[in-house]
Amino acid sequence: MDCIEKENPQKKEERKPDTDRIRLEIGSLSKNEEFARVVIAVFMSRMNPTLEEIDDVKTAVSEAVTNAVIHGYRQHPGTIYIEAAITGQELTIIVTDHGTGIGDLKKAMEPMYTSDNSGERSGMGFSFMEAFMDQLEVESQIGKGTTVRMKKRIGG
């Protein structure tokens, strides 16, 4: 797992000529989490994934979008940007918000840590993303937002 704090959370993936990609902008509403899951599942279906691979990716996307809604925008209006790309057998998903950012990224990545004081959150979002995807990279800057970049090899 790579945990990196960078100044620019909008860093774009280098485009490769054989890359199939989509971009999606959704409001920071909890109900949009399910929509994001389904869109990514349909997009990755062209890779002929197993049901387990689909479930893994859907779970990781759910956690990333939920983190943006709950922690990034703190239930206030905002936009969540989702990009997905297929290059060969590798699926890359990038979830970006322009919310509050993460003060202590290393601490936030620890299992069971949550900044939500309501007691409703388990603090396992990044742990689930790491467990279900092959690679996880998080970039964040206070007041500018967070970008979560995940990769998974499908069928390999």
- R_g (Cα) of the chain, nearest Å: 15
Match 């409001």 to its residue by tokens. 27
Q: How many CB atoms lie within 10 A of CB 102?
A: 23
Find the catalytic residue in 32, 33, 53, 63. Answer: 63
The full 3-state SS of 14-69, as one line of letters, equals CCCCCEEEEEEEEECCCCHHHHHHHHHHHHHHHHCCCHHHHHHHHHHHHHHHHHHH
67 is a catalytic site residue: yes
121 is a catalytic site residue: yes
139 is a catalytic site residue: no
Find the catalytic residue in 53, 67, 130, 149. Answer: 67
Nearest of 147, 123, 153 to residue 135 by alpha carbon: 153
Find the catalytic residue in 5, 83, 121, 153. Answer: 121
HSE at residue 49, side-chain half, CA atoms within 13 A, is 23
DSSP state at residue 103: S
Q: Which residues are catalytic?
A: 63, 67, 121
